[in-house]
Amino acid sequence: MPELPEVETIVRVLDRVLAGRKIDGVRELGKMRLPFNTKSAARSLSGATIVGVRRRAKYLVIDLDSTTALLAHLGMTGNFHLDSAAEPLQKHDRLVISLAGGDELRYSDARRFGFVKPVRAARLGDWPDELSHLGPEPLERSFSWRAMLERARGRKVPVKIFIMDQEVVVGVGNIYASEALHAAGVDPRRLAGVLDMDEWKRVVAEIKAVLRRAIRSGGSTIRNYRTVDGNEGGFQRSLHVYGRGGQACLRCGSEVEQIRQGGRSTFFCPKCQV
DNA sequence: CCAAATCCCTGCGTGC
DNA sequence: TGCACGCAGGGATTTG
């Protein structure tokens, strides 16, 4: 499942291979979570040149040489691949963007939790309005322990749920929330509002650290995430608690517990995390 | 305002 | 081998 490091990895490759390429046309092969509106999209996209690809939270923005951009979210199983037009389509390809020269940028998504859609930016290079509700980027300075301590005051939601709230901080999904809290030694069931300054210092530092390390490894391949070239990420080998319920904590040897919070699995060590 | 529940979707692992 | 079933979860939306 793509979280921030996986999306960052994909964006870096897409930016490199797509910048400067011209769009010839688009075809929608199957419905996505949000409607694509092929007809009006074809008008605004055909003939446009891709300027670059950026990431905000877990969203991808494909900038064009106009105030229209393509906004994408990979959901659980979304992926982009760049194929020759002669290459046969795959079962879950949902959208095909034909590029001048014969290549096709294809968006595939088995479970349709993701989408690609044209959006309008006020000015070239602005983030589209659809992203205006998002909290700070975790790897930027605005994501600080001071800000978290302030933001969490009075909140009675478990800290793991809190750090996965995209209005609080973006890009921290289920895998990295468990990992960061384990590294910080904080029990995921604690309420966000009761964490003290030292605990927020550790949580914020570990969120940054685990995300940076995961980006360096090209992300985590848990089920079906692949880079644009079809390669697996490498960070799944560095996971300390996620997916390791019943196994020994790598730090203290106690049994890693798996519980459910907000309908999602949480993994933690009851001895290391207090 | 806040918190919790619900929904969307399909591949995959498990048990019989 | 085949089938039924439960699980995986990001984020928008609904309910309490």
pLDDT tens across A184-239, in order? 999 999 999 999 999 999 999 999 999 999 999 877 665 556 666 666 677 777 89
Strand B, CB < 7 A, residues 34-73 of A: none
* Of the candidate ranges A18-27, A30-39, A64-73, A166-175, the one whose mean pLDDT is the lowest: A30-39
Active site residues of A: 2-3, 58, 264
Instruction: Label residue A3 left, alpha or beta by phi (over 0 means left) and psi (-120 to 50 means alpha).
Output: beta
Instruction: Determine the Cα–Cα distance for residues A86 and A64; give it in Å rounded to an integer.
Output: 25
Mean predicted confidence (pLDDT) in A147-165 = 95
Instruction: Determine the Cα–Cα distance for residues A165 and A263; give it in Å rounded to an integer.
Output: 14
Q: Is A114 within 7 A of strand B by CB distance?
A: no
* Of the candidate ranges A28-32, A98-102, A149-153, A218-222, the one whose mean pLDDT is the lowest: A218-222
What pLDDT is attached to residue A166? 93
Contact (Cβ atoms closer than 8 angstroms) between residue A230 and residue A245: no
What pLDDT is attached to residue A226? 62
Cα-based angle A166, A171, A175 (whole degrees, multiple of 5): 110
| CA dihedral sign of residues A236, A237, A239, A242 | positive
Nucleotides of C under 7 A from a protein CB: 7-12
Residue A120 reports pLDDT greater than 80:
yes
CA of A102 to C1' of C10 (A): 33
State chain A's maximal CA–CA distance in angstroms. Answer: 59
* Contact residues for strand C with beta carbon within 7 Å: A 1, 3, 33, 57-59, 73, 75-76, 111, 113, 133, 164, 166, 173-175, 258, 260, 263-265
**Running DSSP on this structure, what letter comes out for residue A23?**
E
Share above pLDDT 70 across residues of chain A, in percent, rounded to a whole number: 95
Residue A118 reports pLDDT greater than 80:
yes
The whole-chain average pLDDT of chain A stands at 91
